[in-house]
Amino acid sequence: MARQVAKPRVKRKKWFPIIAPKLFREQVVGEIPLYESKSMMNRNLSINMMNLTNNPRNQHINVMLRINEVKDGKGLTTVLGFEMMPSSVKRIVRRGKTKVGDSVIVATSDNKKVRIKPLLITNTTANNSIVNSVRLIVRNALARLVSRLTYEQLVEEIMSFKLQKHLGSTAAKIAPIRSSEIRGFKLIEKEGVRVLKPGKMEEIVKEKKEEVKEEVEKKEAPKAEEPKQEEKAQPAPEATEASSKAEKAPKK
């Protein structure tokens, strides 16, 4: 009788749940098929913010999560960043308005480096001086505010749109602001990156206000009327006829 050969057992994958951070009520946001739960570590995933908050108004934002801990076969995540969809950015910008965008690297109080991309829309068309002033003030406001917050507090401020409102009210000291958004932010893990340091906000606002005021006054000032050039006296018709006859007369 032939001996039966035992078939090798095939190891099957299991489904392991992924848990959202505390900010999003630690709900299950997905599952991943793996042989072992420890293989989930340091995996990144992108989830629409509407699914995390159950709010359709947030469907234009994608949140990036990273599995930073595995506990009892569950992948615990932290927020790595978020990004607005390009179509939603185009929808904000309209005719007769000016877009003021930027990208800055700032440091939190727990020494985490973050790249933040603010986006502001003015109520009316703004000139270069106003755009540069708004950009500088927003940069310093970001650096000052972020330096006082931990990374978790910063994420909460951005996800609750409190930071966006603060930047809008700060920029409104220079020009009327229609919309204030954070186009995206991301945690930077690379070392040796230069970080923006906060300046003295009151002095910057005062200086930029004066610059904008001076430029507006120059534009609104009436131009001095140029002196009219004196009209040359035209010779009388009799004198012109006499001169033409003298030219035609033959020389002796």
Q: Check pLDDT > 50 for residue 252.
A: no
User: Do 25 and 100 sit in the same domain of this protein?
Assistant: no
- Residue 19 has which token pair? 């848990």
Which of 148, 179, 152 lies closest to 164, judged by CA? 179
pLDDT in tens, 147-205: 999 999 999 999 999 999 999 999 999 999 999 999 999 999 988 889 998 876 555 55
* Residue 93 within any structural domain of the chain: yes
Domain boundary residue among 84, 100, 129? 84
User: Do 196 and 154 sit in the same domain of this protein?
Assistant: yes
Residue 102 backbone dihedrals phi, psi, to 5 degrees: -160, 170
User: Do 71 and 161 sit in the same domain of this protein?
Assistant: no
Which of 81, 18, 74, 76 lies closest to 49, judged by CA? 81
| Buried/exposed code over 166-191 (b: 16+ C-beta within 10 A; e: otherwise) | bbbebbbebbebebbbbbbbbbbeee
* Residue 46 within any structural domain of the chain: yes
Domain carrying residue 57 = 15-84
User: Do 133 and 168 sit in the same domain of this protein?
Assistant: yes
User: Do 23 and 89 sit in the same domain of this protein?
Assistant: no
Q: Check pLDDT > 70 for residue 217.
A: no
CATH classification at residue 127? 3.30.479.30
Q: Check pLDDT > 80 for residue 92.
A: yes
User: Do 77 and 141 sit in the same domain of this protein?
Assistant: no
* Residue 239 within any structural domain of the chain: no
* Residue 180 within any structural domain of the chain: yes
Provide the strand spans (E) within the chain.
Answer: 14-19, 28-34, 44-48, 61-71, 74-84, 99-101, 104-107, 113-122, 177-188
* Residue 24 within any structural domain of the chain: yes
CA distance linking residue 44 with residue 237, whole number of Å: 94
* Residue 116 within any structural domain of the chain: yes
Mean pLDDT on 217-228: 55
Burial class (CB in 10 A: 0-12, 13-18, 19+), 106: buried
> Where on the phi/psi map is residue 137: left (φ > 0), alpha (ψ -120 to 50), or beta?
alpha
Q: Check pLDDT > 70 for residue 12.
A: yes
- Residue 15 has which token pair? 């489904």
User: Do 37 and 51 sit in the same domain of this protein?
Assistant: yes
- H helix and E strand count, the chain: 7, 9
User: Do 187 and 79 sit in the same domain of this protein?
Assistant: no
* Residue 243 within any structural domain of the chain: no
**DSSP letter assigned to residue 173:** T
Question: Count of domains in the chain?
Answer: 2
Contact between 40 and 70 under an 8 Å Cβ cutoff? The reply is: yes
Contact between 61 and 48 under an 8 Å Cβ cutoff? The reply is: yes
Domain boundary residue among 50, 84, 118? 84
What is the reported pTM?
0.75
pLDDT band at 234 (very low <50, low <70, confident <90, very high): low
User: Do 24 and 73 sit in the same domain of this protein?
Assistant: yes
pLDDT in tens, 164-177: 999 999 999 999 99
* Residue 235 within any structural domain of the chain: no
Q: Check pLDDT > 80 for residue 129.
A: yes
User: Do 31 and 120 sit in the same domain of this protein?
Assistant: no
User: Do 47 and 127 sit in the same domain of this protein?
Assistant: no
User: Do 158 and 144 sit in the same domain of this protein?
Assistant: yes
